[in-house]
Structure 1
Amino acid sequence: MTTFLRLGVTEDDQALADAVATFAQAELAPRAQALDEQELSATCHVPQLAELGVMGLNLPEHLGGPGVTPTAMLLALVEISKACAATSSMVGAHYLGTDAVLIGGNAAQQQAWLPRAASGEWLAGFALTEPRGGSHPADLRTRAVREGGHYRLDGVKHFISNAAEAKFLVVFARTDPDAGARGVSAFVVDTKTPGISFSSHEKLMGIRGAHAFEVSFDGVMVPEDCRLGEEGTGFKTAMKVLDNSRLDVAATSLGIAEAALAAAVQWANDRQIGGEALASKQGIQWMLADMKLRLEAAWGLTLQATALRTAGQVFTRQSAMAKLYASEMVGFVTDAALQIHGGYGFTREMPLERYARDARILRIYEGSSEIQRTIIARAVLG
């Protein structure tokens, strides 16, 4: 639990984070290893998370959310990630879907879908990635063809978190095959609609409790009033959602890194080598210093981007920088923490190897590190 207020964090923000931290350490942390080893779904935690208001942290009060600041939401995700990164990833995927309705939908659509998502009754998902279009979402092959008052959806989505467990997915499909990114539209789709099928959940290296699926759409008829915004605006909605979600990924990175560093510090203080604490060795001290330095730098970038989001300013470049740096930072920190534990860190009796596995995906999803560098470079070049 954080014992001081970081720059830009209010006492109300911290109070929420502390409440989530208490819950996460009491309820999530003890089950994290079982979720990983048995590949149990982190959705088992949704009712308790909903009671805390976590499932609607990204939503305003009139749509069922608690109306907290983006900073409070960030801190809450950090605390969840310290305890169980798979749970944080499941919640983040839920935010992707609900953010898409909040950003791209009209008032009627928001009222229809979001309050019950905020309450935890309904789980959301975000169906953008395809087998041939991961980090290039403008190259979608899923088609949406208007037929009377409906659209017919045909295509396949891949690595869709929450999909088979969700009540609804926001699906991105091409309505104009010749218009590039401007030919992409977004639809909110009930997962019980005929023609939708799901694979078994993917066998993942890490975050095994955050289930991801392949989703097939075969002649799925979606009412016209389930289209979010005008035709051709879906790609713009997706990019705005991803600006937000990259901060969620940064939060997950911060949480895992905080847990790994804390474990390394405790081990270095407790472990005796030649009658002296491991922490007395200069080489270990320098490793810990580098871990802390990179972690604090990631906090700075993430809070800067969050402050811009809170102020209603454009933060695309800053969110890309935060996501890139934080996700690469956590790879360094978890590896160093495992190294400090020596052979013990390589066993499954300790959480170090899980931290390292969970952290690896963060450089890939919500836009790979290479894509983030492209976004940053374009901004630098004007």
Structure 2
Amino acid sequence: MMQIDDPWHMLAEEERMFCDMLERICAEKIAPLAAETDETARFVHQQLAVLGEAGMMGANLPEVWGGGDISASALLRAVAIVAGACGSTASALTAHYLATDSILIGASEAQKQEWLPRAASGAALGAFALTEPTAGSDPADMKTRAHRTDKGWHLKGAKCFISNGGVADFLVVYAMSDPDKGHRGISAFIVPKDTPGLEGGAPEKTMGLKGGHVFTIGLDCELPHDALLGEEGRGFRTAMQVLDNGRIEVAAQCLGMARAAMDMAIAYAKERIIGGMALSERQGIRWMIADMGLAYNSALLLAQEAARQRTLAHKQGGRFSLASAQAKLGASEAAGKIADTALQLHGGYGYTRDFPIERINRDLRIMRIYEGSSEIQRNIISGNMLV
């Protein structure tokens, strides 16, 4: 019988079974590698292979393209499970989703057939190349150019902070094909990893998510005509729709890591005895736990509403930008506070690498920056309120 307080009561039985299976796999095969991944900064190839076998690499895609065809709510739950086991793995996974969502939303049928089944199986890893050194929050300022040639297109420019960029089998690259049109002059291109003139440097030395590498990418490439993703000039629209999806997946990552930190803090509070009394018996500690629970459940409800709207928009058309911005902002801000409180509750031990709380705090910090910073999310939210 379903519990009345089950936060995932909306999932279909098959989706619940999938998430239960994924939780077991992550506990057995991914979580045990998280600390070593953080220490060595080795890319999470092994973990992604595990997720590929579990059907998670295509969980965001329809069944016709080899995907799992699960609801947005189930995807939210599934990504949170992966993130709770290993933030680096979840980061690489969701970066892959940004690339495959770009193809799903903007590509021709032939392009979908060529790339999506392989991406869904895990045979081809994707990267989403939008951000540039001078064009982060405003893509219309991008300097990467796409010029038509007799043989197709010439791409020239640079991208930065591209998750999976240097290890991906293909990149979806956004470039300005008509600078006079501003954001309406942005087009997208599928660039295979072996394309001459595509160069990825060493991964950035990041504070957290050390196994989910980000790269600077150099582009001086000749591409065939059919490298253009869908139609010319539709890249900005595609990217914005992709980011609506991606922000909910960032919220999912935050929820997964925040829940892991909160559960660790509660367990520690019950076990830690000081002055003959468990920490959990002290009023101050109990209030800290209450605040963590309130922050987590508030963020969860925002994310679930965004997932509901995502499902509705995909069925009926329309956008869910406000809901996704609220979910991303709410979850990233709440997760940072929850993880910090969990570290505080652990005392000095929480500051050591012997406890996962230290790693979770570092892994979570980027969530308030990438896929649109907290400030950008506030601009989106206020813009919707002030119309």
| TM-score past 0.5 threshold | yes
Q: Using the alignment, how far apart are the partners of 1:314 and 1:141 within structure 2? A: 27
| 1:274 and 2:270 are equivalent in the alignment | no
Q: Report the counterpart of residue 228 of structure 1 in structure 2.
A: 229
CA contact (8 A) 2:208 2:363 kept: yes
| 1:323 and 2:325 are equivalent in the alignment | no
> What does 1:28-177 correspond to in 2, within 5 Å?
28-177=30-179
Q: Using the alignment, how far apart are the partners of 1:81 and 1:356 within structure 2? A: 13
Q: Using the alignment, how far apart are the partners of 2:237 and 2:7 within structure 1? A: 35
1:325-369 superposed Cα distances (whole Å, 9 cap, x missing partner):
100001000000000000000011001110100000000000000
Q: Which residue of 336, 339, 344 corresponds with 2:341?
A: 336
Q: Using the alignment, how far apart are the partners of 1:251 and 1:120 within structure 2? A: 21
1:156-190 superposed Cα distances (whole Å, 9 cap, x missing partner):
00011111111100000000111110010000111
Q: Given residue 376 of structure 2, which amino acid in structure 1 is its aligned partner?
A: I
Q: Using the alignment, how far apart are the partners of 1:316 and 1:5 within structure 2? A: 23
CA contact (8 A) 1:5 1:11 kept: no
Deviation at 1:287, TM superposition (A): 0.4
Runs of 4+ in 1 over 6 A off after TM superposition: none
Q: Report the counterpart of residue 245 of structure 1 in structure 2.
A: 246
Q: Using the alignment, how far apart are the partners of 1:348 and 1:105 within structure 2? A: 44
- Give the 3-state SS of the residue equivalent to 2:255 in structure 1: helix
Q: Using the alignment, how far apart are the partners of 1:289 and 1:63 within structure 2? A: 44
Q: Given residue 369 of structure 1, which amino acid in structure 2 is its aligned partner?
A: S
Q: Percent of counterpart pairs with the same letter?
A: 48
- Give the 3-state SS of the residue equivalent to 1:68 in structure 2: coil
Q: Using the alignment, how far apart are the partners of 1:305 and 1:240 within structure 2? A: 13
Q: Using the alignment, how far apart are the partners of 1:258 and 1:378 within structure 2? A: 31
Q: Which residue of 353, 356, 364 corresponds with 2:358?
A: 353
1:217-248 superposed Cα distances (whole Å, 9 cap, x missing partner):
12x01111121122111000000000000011
Deviation at 1:5, TM superposition (A): 4.7
TM-score when normalising by structure 1:
0.98
RMSD after superposition: 1.2
CA contact (8 A) 1:104 1:237 kept: yes
| 1:198 and 2:197 are equivalent in the alignment | no
Q: Report the counterpart of residue 263 of structure 2 in structure 1.
A: 262
Q: Using the alignment, how far apart are the partners of 2:150 and 2:373 within structure 1? A: 39
Q: Given residue 71 of structure 1, which amino acid in structure 2 is its aligned partner?
A: S
- Give the 3-state SS of the residue equivalent to 2:159 in structure 1: strand
Q: Using the alignment, how far apart are the partners of 1:87 and 1:131 within structure 2? A: 25
Greater mean alpha carbon deviation, residues 310-319 or residues 238-247: 310-319
Greater mean alpha carbon deviation, residues 315-324 or residues 221-230: 221-230
| 1:296 and 2:297 are equivalent in the alignment | yes
TM-score when normalising by structure 2:
0.96
CA contact (8 A) 1:150 1:224 kept: yes
Q: Given residue 197 of structure 1, which amino acid in structure 2 is its aligned partner?
A: E
| 1:211 and 2:213 are equivalent in the alignment | yes
Q: Is there any run of 5+ residues in structure 1 with no aligned partner, and where?
A: none
1:92-123 superposed Cα distances (whole Å, 9 cap, x missing partner):
00000000000000111100111001111100
Deviation at 1:278, TM superposition (A): 0.4
- Give the 3-state SS of the residue equivalent to 1:94 in structure 2: helix
Q: Given residue 138 of structure 2, which amino acid in structure 1 is its aligned partner?
A: H
Q: Using the alignment, how far apart are the partners of 1:137 and 1:174 within structure 2? A: 9
Deviation at 1:13, TM superposition (A): 2.4
Q: Report the counterpart of residue 372 of structure 2 in structure 1.
A: 367
Deviation at 1:67, TM superposition (A): 1.4
Q: Using the alignment, how far apart are the partners of 2:12 and 2:272 within structure 1? A: 37
Q: Given residue 31 of structure 2, which amino acid in structure 1 is its aligned partner?
A: A
1:29-76 superposed Cα distances (whole Å, 9 cap, x missing partner):
110000001001112212211111000001111111121111111111
Greater mean alpha carbon deviation, residues 6-15 or residues 351-360: 6-15
Q: Using the alignment, how far apart are the partners of 2:348 and 2:50 within structure 1? A: 36
Q: Is there any run of 5+ residues in structure 2 with no aligned partner, and where?
A: none
Q: Using the alignment, how far apart are the partners of 2:10 and 2:291 within structure 1? A: 24
Q: Report the counterpart of residue 306 of structure 1 in structure 2.
A: 307
1:111-162 superposed Cα distances (whole Å, 9 cap, x missing partner):
0111001111100000000011111112110000000131100000001111
